[in-house]
Amino acid sequence: MGGFNMKVCALAACLLLAGHVSGYSMEDLCAQWSGSGYVGDPADCHGWGYCQGQKLVSWNKCKAGLVFNAQTATCGFENSTICTTNAVATCSAAKSPMYVAVPSDCNQYGYCFGNGSIGYGNCGAGGVYAANNNTCVWGPTCPQDTICRFMKNDIFVGDPNNCGSYLLCNNGYGTPGQCATGKYFNPGNGMCQGTNPCTGDSANSGSNPGTTYTVGQSVAGACTGGEAIDPATTFFMPDKQTCYGYFYCTTAAGNGIWNACPTGTHFDSDTQKCVSPASVVCTHNRCANVNSPFMAVSGESCKQYEICSNSATAYCPSSNPYYDEVHNICTVDPPDYPICQ
Ligand SMILES: *[C@@H]1O[C@H](CO)[C@@H](O)[C@H](O)[C@H]1NC(C)=O
Ligand SMILES: *[C@@H]1O[C@H](CO)[C@@H](O)[C@H](O)[C@H]1NC(C)=O
Ligand SMILES: *[C@@H]1O[C@H](CO)[C@@H](O)[C@H](O)[C@H]1NC(C)=O
């Protein structure tokens, strides 16, 4: 055990160290990763999440008696899978002796006797426990305290404590790295780039309005075929270019005056109102005029969605195949919105 003398104690008082919650959420993990796949829940070793497009799109827990192994992205038996968030839970199920990290205190380490009990040792003043090679090393940084503890092997992720730098995740450990001088790591694509991604705004789907009309523009022929809904005497017509633009009309023969629905809404021709995008099936660019990172693709029963920042089509994991754009998650059952019909 390195230069430190490891002594195992079995003090009842040590048991109070159980149950530490890391400062990261699954959303934080996803935000640092350009890839798609499973991550562990930093608050609960039984839980997992699914990241896509830097967003958490789905989450759940392993079945009873199973613990999520983030490095292999599988649910494993409690008696052979380390609970990353709770050393006591690991030892209570472990069938053979082993050392474990103590999430709440890196100066300590735990020892599972293999009979359900845990003992604790101490790395001494200035020492921290490195679980990857079961040694005490000089602190103050705790080797297991990175987001890689909850992420799979062999991926590069952004370092949440050092924007522009990255971590190479391996076996639950993050090896810090820097891009070349003057370059910054972009967690959105996993590459080093010349501009600093830590200061700019994130891509906004409202940036592609998709129309040449301007507010107040008078357009001939835009009102043809329209009529007022009683008791109204004037009416509104879709602009046939966007999901959110409409014309204000006084007569079917007159010009239409263009306007846009409030941000976050689309125009519904049937009711002549601006409504939730999910409640109207529009086949133009559904990402325009909304502040959503993803939107369901119309006509696909919510089995496809568009990544608004790059217009790419994406799919939910097969275990939760439907995209619920109102809650921005992947679901097991198809959502009951008109856009999903
Ligand atoms: C671990 O638990 C599973 C499920 O309870 C059991 O099938 C398996 O035999 C156990 N393994 C050991 C080493 O006890
Ligand atoms: C487990 O083993 C350790 C060391 O032999 C012992 O001190 C402890 O009391 C045992 N715990 C149980 C629950 O048997
Ligand atoms: C053990 O791991 C720690 C943290 O990853 C590292 O700093 C240390 O050099 C390693 N020690 C040995 C002996 O490999």
Over the chain, what is the mean pLDDT?
85
Residues 24-35 have a mean pLDDT of 92
pLDDT of residue 253: 94
The full set of domain ranges for the chain reads 1-203
pLDDT of residue 327: 74
Residues 244-273 have a mean pLDDT of 89
Residue 236 CA to ligand 3 center (angstroms) comes to 69
Report the nearest-CA residue for atom 7 of ligand 2.
Answer: 10
Ligand at shortest distance from the CA of 91 = 2
Residue 114 CA to ligand 2 center (angstroms) comes to 9
Tell which one of 137, 142, 144 to mutate to probe ligand 3, the residue whose CB is within 8 A of the most ligand atoms.
137
Tell which one of 8, 115, 120 to mutate to probe ligand 2, the residue whose CB is within 8 A of the most ligand atoms.
115
Indicate whether residue 97 lines ligand 2 (CB < 6 A). no
Ligand at shortest distance from the CA of 75 = 1
- What would the pLDDT profile of 204-243 be if each residue is shown by its tens digit? 333 335 677 888 889 999 999 999 988 888 999 999 999 9
Residue 69 CA to ligand 2 center (angstroms) comes to 27
Highest-pLDDT range among 5-9, 10-14, 200-204, 211-215: 211-215
- What would the pLDDT profile of 197-206 be if each residue is shown by its tens digit? 776 433 333 3
Ligand at shortest distance from the CA of 92 = 2
pLDDT of residue 3: 37
Residues 273-279 have a mean pLDDT of 86
Indicate whether residue 7 lines ligand 1 (CB < 6 A). no
**Residues above pLDDT 90, as percent of the chain:** 53
Residues 177-206 have a mean pLDDT of 76
Residue 117 CA to ligand 2 center (angstroms) comes to 6
Indicate whether residue 117 lines ligand 2 (CB < 6 A). yes
Tell which one of 67, 69, 78, 80 to mutate to probe ligand 1, the residue whose CB is within 8 A of the most ligand atoms.
80
Residue 15: pLDDT over 80? no
Residue 80 CA to ligand 1 center (angstroms) comes to 8
- What would the pLDDT profile of 284-341 be if each residue is shown by its tens digit? 999 888 877 788 999 999 999 888 877 888 888 888 899 888 777 788 889 988 999 8
Residue 101: pLDDT over 50? yes
- What would the pLDDT profile of 118-131 be if each residue is shown by its tens digit? 999 999 988 999 99
pLDDT of residue 204: 33
pLDDT of residue 121: 95
Residue 255: pLDDT over 90? yes
- What would the pLDDT profile of 42-98 be if each residue is shown by its tens digit? 989 999 999 999 999 899 999 999 999 999 999 999 998 999 999 999 999 998 899
Residue 134 CA to ligand 3 center (angstroms) comes to 9
Which residue would you say has higher pLDDT here, 9 or 177? 177
Residue 173: pLDDT over 60? yes
Query: Helix/strand/coil (H, E, C) string of the chain?
Result: CCCCCCCCECCHHHHHHCCCCCCCCHHHHHHCCCCCEEEEECCEEEEEEEEECCEEEEEEECCCCEEEECCCCEEEECCCCCCCCCHHHHHHHCCCCEEEECCCCCCEEEEECCCCCEEEEECCCCEEEECCCCEEEECCCCCCCCHHHHCCCCEEEECCCCCCCEEEEECCEEEEECCCCCCEEECCCCEEECCCCCCCCCCCHHHCCCCCCCCCCEECCCCCCCCCCCCCCCEEEECCCCCCEEEEECCCCCCEEEEECCCCCEEECCCCEEECHHHCCCCCCCCCCCCCCEEECCCCCCCCEEECCCCEEECCCCCCCEEECCCCEEECCCCCCHHHC
Residue 32: pLDDT over 90? yes
Please report which confidence band the pLDDT of residue 13 belongs to, taking 50, 70 and 90 as the band edges: very low
